[in-house]
A and B are shown apart, each in its own frame.
Chain A
Amino acid sequence: MSKLQNALVGGVRTVLEHIPAAWLPGASPDHLAERRVALGTQQPRIDGPEKVRGMARFAAEVPMDELLHAAFVHSTIARGTIVELDIAAAEAAPGVGLVMTHRNAPKMKVPPSIGLTSMKAAGNHTLPIMQDAEIRWNGQVVAVILAETREQADHAASLVNVLYDAAPSRTRFEEGKANARTPHSIQMDQNRLEKGNATKKLAQAAVSIDATYSTPWESHNPIEPHAATIAWEGEKLIVHDATQMIHGTVGSLAKVFGIKDDDVFVSSPFVGGGFGAKGLWDHQILGAAAAKLTGRPVRIRLSRESMHRLVGGRTQTEQRVALGADADGKLKALLHHGYATKPRHSITDEAFSQTGRSLYACESFDVVQHYVDLDLLANSFMRAPGEAPGTFAIECAMDELAHALNMDPVELRRRNVATCDPVSGAPHSQSDMMAAYDMGAERIGWDRRSPEPRTRSEGEWLIGMGCATGTFPFLRMPGTAARITVDATGHAHVASAAHEMGMGTATVQRQHAADRLGLPLDSVSVTIGDSTLPYGALAGGSSQTASLGAAISAASDKLAEQLLRLAGNDTPLAGLKPGEVEFADGGLRKIDDPSRHETFASILGRASQAEVSVTGESKAPMEMLKFSMHSTSAVFCELRVSEVTGEIRIDRLVGAFDCGRILNAQTATSQFKGGMIMGLGMALTEETLLDERSGRIMSTSLAEYHVPVHLDVPDIDVLWTDIPDPRTPMGARGIGEIGTTGVAAAVANAVFNATGVRVRDLPITLDKLDLG
C-alpha cells in the first residue's frame, strides 16, 4: 500500500467529516434492528440434515467421468534454480497421464492481487506460477503429476528427481529484522502513528511497563483439505472449489488463462472450514493448467503436507508494547512497535498495530510496524488477522500495567475505555465495551480472583484467572449483490454467490429476508455458492453478513418499487410511493394505514406475471470512514497449571461480546465459541514449525501441529450485549473473527495470576513455565 492510498483515504475521510451522517449508508437505523420476528430467534441450520448425513457435497466429491488425480512435487530448497528435472520414471509409471513442469506448463499470468481495489481478484502472492526454473520458497511446486488413480499419482510424484543450484536465501526472522521495511500504510490506515510525544510521556509516567511479545507462524488447518475438481469444456473452465472467494477466483482464473470472466464457472456450496485459508493458491491454477494440457478433468486434493507448503498462514510477529499511566491508571502513552514477516511477494497485511489505536483513550500514541522480507511462502489472513496477535500484545501489556498499578485489570479498562476513536476523534457508531466486561465478570465470578499471583491452589494445581479485551472492526464489502425473486404463490427466493463455511449463511439470511419481506420463514428460500449467482464479495473480514444484508435490503427497496409499478391503480396501494409502504403479511402496505395492503400473489396475479425479480447491491461503505466501527469483547478465563509439569488446563472460558444485534442465537453462539477455541489453540498449542536453516516447514501434519482436542475445550459461556448498531444492516456487526481475539491474552494473564510467571511468547507450552 502506498502514499497515494494514504492520500486518497485521508482525503475521503476529511470530506466525510463535513458530510452529515444522514447522507451516508446507514443514515437511519435499520428498522429490523428492533422489529424482528425470525431474526434474533434460534433457528437450526437449514443445511443441517445434509451435513449430519454426510450428503453435503464438498469440492473433492463432485463426480466426473475420465477424472485424473493430481499430485504435487515440492521444492526442497528456499531459493535457487532447478538444474536437473528428471521426470522419465514418473512419466513411465503406471497410470500416469501427464507430468507438468515449468518446461511444458502453459503460459499463465500472475493472478491479480486480492485487495480493496479489485472486486474480482484473489491472488495471494505475485510470483509466477510454474513459468521458470527459479525456486522462490521451500515447498514451491516443481512438478504436477496426473494419473488414473490417486495411488498412482502419489507414487509417480515420488519418482521425480530434481537437482537444484541453491542460492543464498533469507529465512531467519532475527536477521531479517535488520533490513525490515516500513510501509506507508497498513490496510486502510497510515502505518506510522505519532500523536503527542509518547516517548516523553512514557518517561514521565508515574507507572509504566515496556515489554516485547512474540507470536508464531500459525496455520489454519481446516479439516477439509484444499481441493478442487476441475474441467475444461472448450474454452470454458469449470472449477468445483473449496473457496471463500467465488468471484475473486473467477476473475483471477480468467486473467491467468486469458479468458473471459463469463467463461469461468466456480461452484463452492460447502466449504469444510476456511478461516481465511480457502482462497486462491497455486493448486487451483496448476490443476486447471494440467487439465488443459491433458484435456481431461482433474481432481486435486492437497495432502496435509502440501497444504502447509502451498497455503500461507498467520505470520510471525514480534511486538514491543510500552504503556505509561498516571497513578490513577489513566493512560498517558501507548507505544506499539513491531515486526511481522511479510515476503515482498506477499499481499496480506498482518495489521497487529491497529489494535492499540482503537481500544483505549490515551494522551499520546507512537505506533508503527515493519515487515521482515524473507524467502518464504506468502503469508495470509487467518481468523482475525492483525487483531489476534495485536490483542495478545496490547492486552497482556494492559494486564502488566494493572499489576504494576496494583489495580484490578477490569478497573484499568474502565478508566481508559475509549468513548470515540482515540486517534481521529471520529464518533463510534456504537460501542459499549464495559457492558461486555460487566456481563463477563459476573458470569465467571471475577470477584473470586486473587489479585496476588500464585495464591490459589488445589493439590499440585495452581489456579488463576485472567481477562482481556477482544476487538475486531466492522467491515462491509461494496458490490455484493442479491437477487430476490417473488413468485405468484408469494414465495421469495434470495440468490447470491455467498459462501457457507459453517457460519450458517443461508440460514441467517433466510431469517433476514423473511423479516425484510414480511414473510414467514417457510415462504423464503436462499441459494448461495456459485458464480452464476449475483456477485458475492469474499467471505472474510467478518463482512459477509453485513454485505449480503445490505444487498438484500437494497433489493427489497427495488422490489417495493417494482411491485408498486405492477400493482397499477386498481389496488389499495394506488398512488403510493416506495417510501410510503412497507412489507407486511406477504405483501405491501401503507406504513401508517395497514388497511391499505395487497399481497404479492394478488399483485402478480392481476399483472399476469409469474414472478418479479430484482437485484440490489451493497453500496460503497462510506460509514466505515466516517464512524469508528469496532466490535469489542471481554474474555475471561480460569485455569489450572500443574506445578509438577507446567501443563495448563482451562477450566472455564467466558466471552461477552458487544457486536451489535445477534441474528441467530444458535449459530452466533457457535461462531463465537469456534473463534474462542481457535484462540485457545493460539494460546496453548499452535505453532507452525519453520526450520530457519532451510526455510522449510517441519510441522506439516496434524500430529505435529496441535489444534485443540475435545479434552482441551471446557464448557464455554457466550454472552452478548445485543445493543443495536444504528449504522449497520439489521443493527449487527460481524462476529466471525472477534471470538479469536483477546483469548490468548486472557489465558496468558490467567497463567500469570496462577503462577506469577509472565509468558510473552506464544504458544504457552509447558517448557516455558519452569515452576520448579
Chain B
Amino acid sequence: MKLVTAVIKPFVLEDVKNALEKLGVLGLTVTEVSGFGRQKGHTEVYRGAEYAVDFVPKIRVEVAVEDAVAERVVNAVVEAARTGKIGDGKVWVTGLETVVRVRTGERGSDAL
C-alpha cells in the first residue's frame, strides 16, 4: 500500500477530489496547512505599514491506496491541481506498512 500526499492550492481541492472519486478512491483526508516554497509569501498593508507574510495557506490531501493504483492517483492529482503558475504544490508517495479499519479490525488492503 502507498500513502499519496499532495500539498495543493486551496481552490483546486474540488477538482482534485472529483478526479480521485472518478478513479474509485474511497476516502481521503484533508488538512489546512501553511508553508512556503518558491512562491514565497505575500505582503499586506495596514495603515501604510507593510508586512511580509511568509507562509502561504495550502491544503494537504492524503490518500491511502493499493500499490497498483498509486501511479494513476499521483497523475490524477497532478493533472487536477496544475494551474501552470508558481505555487501549484507538490505530490509525494510513501510506503504504508499497516492499515487497520477501526470499526472492524480488518487489516491491509481490506481496510482501505
- Answer yes or no: are A and B bound together in one complex: no
